[in-house]
Chain A
């Protein structure tokens, strides 16, 4: 069934249509949520809350065919709120540790083999929320600047600027420090 039709049915209260939309998007939304917050615990919360909001606010969707942009804008706001909430809560060292271990697998061990990747990931995590969002939507979701601007509700120039600054920051972090110099030698 066409996505716009599913959205229409969901707006009419059809839970099965909502479930089908969840099935279509759950993987991408969950993975993007985990990338945004850096750990699976908050990623789960963000994904679940995003879909709860999708169902409870679906009447606010103006163009059914633009559902995916609307969905990602909900994700963007939900993730931001969750990250801020987490910062106010008790420090959670276990969660930071867990961030390296999605689904019980020790990803850090896998990635440790690739020191450059490890360093780059740390650099991505150090970006501010707006810059990180743009980086993830651009490189992981492979969205255009125009599409990202639509999701974030800002001008294309703002997206370009955030992208430029984020890329420059990542590049600077990568080439600075001992392993950064090593990288440059290659």
Chain B
């Protein structure tokens, strides 16, 4: 084999492989968190700015709770996925399930009109209190859409260790399964924003999430219902539309 030949082959190979690696969208948030931890920041608000898109993912994780493992308690879950859906056809759901080992029972369409709009495979890492990775797995996020409003069904092959019951807006029980419903206000503010006393108390109560780094102040509300079934954690999540606990429960019934 000629020197030039192998030179070109190595170069092309490395370029080809590298091109397939996309920077996870949460990376900057994780860097901020690590820096905040190391600087001993204990405030409710982050010192480093956080982008809105990243907050949505973080809010979803916060609402679901942490997972409990034999190896020890996971206190943080990092998630990464491609911004582009891994599968765009409902027929590929079984392929995604086989690939990840996650069984979703996700319908193609919910009775309230939300229709399948893609599947994302998420790579999750559980970190303990010392930031050591103690768990790694893949989960599935099935996206649905109705009149431009987006909703996702996230299924994780892990049991959730939830917050105290009073953290949730409502807890429903049916056939021995508990459904945890939470409504959370989100406020995206510019750097330097000082929360009011009322906001401070809402944050302490877990009713308000403030993300710093937006160009201007915007607010929205996220709605989530989470439950555990067959050793998996299910979660319906939306930031786009108001859904009551009963409406989300009706959707949950269609999943099992």
Q: Chain A: residues with CB nearer than 8 A to chain B? A: 15, 19, 22, 26-27, 30-32, 34-35, 40-41, 43-45, 47-49, 51-52, 55-56, 92, 94-95, 98, 102-107, 110-111, 116-117, 120-121, 124, 135-136, 139-140, 167, 170-171, 174-175, 183-184
- Complex Cα spacing A116 to B12, Å: 12
* CB <8 Å contact, A43 and B21: yes
Q: Chain B: residues with CB nearer than 8 A to chain A? A: 1, 3, 6-7, 9-24, 27-28, 30-31, 34-35, 38, 47-49, 78, 80-82, 86, 99, 120-123, 125, 133, 136-138
* CB <8 Å contact, A103 and B1: no
* CB <8 Å contact, B31 and A48: yes
Instruction: Looking at the assembled complex, report how far the CB atom of A30 sits from the nearest CB atom of chain B, in whole angstroms.
Output: 5
10 A-B Cβ contacts within 8 A? A34-B17, A41-B125, A43-B21, A48-B27, A52-B31, A52-B34, A98-B123, A105-B82, A121-B13, A174-B6
* CB <8 Å contact, B133 and A136: no
Main secondary structure of the interface of A (DSSP, over half): helix
Whether A44 contacts B10 in the complex (CB less than 8 A), given A102-B20, A102-B21, comes out as: no
Whether A167 contacts B6 in the complex (CB less than 8 A), given A94-B136, A139-B11, comes out as: yes
Contacts of B123 in A (CB 8 A): 40-41, 98, 104
Residue in chain B with minimal CB distance to A94: B136
Contacts of B86 in A (CB 8 A): 104-105
Contacts of A136 in B (CB 8 A): 14
Contacts of A106 in B (CB 8 A): 99
Whether A117 contacts B16 in the complex (CB less than 8 A), given A94-B136, A95-B136, A184-B1, comes out as: yes
* CB <8 Å contact, B27 and A30: yes
- Complex Cα spacing A92 to B136, Å: 9
- Complex Cα spacing A106 to B209, Å: 36
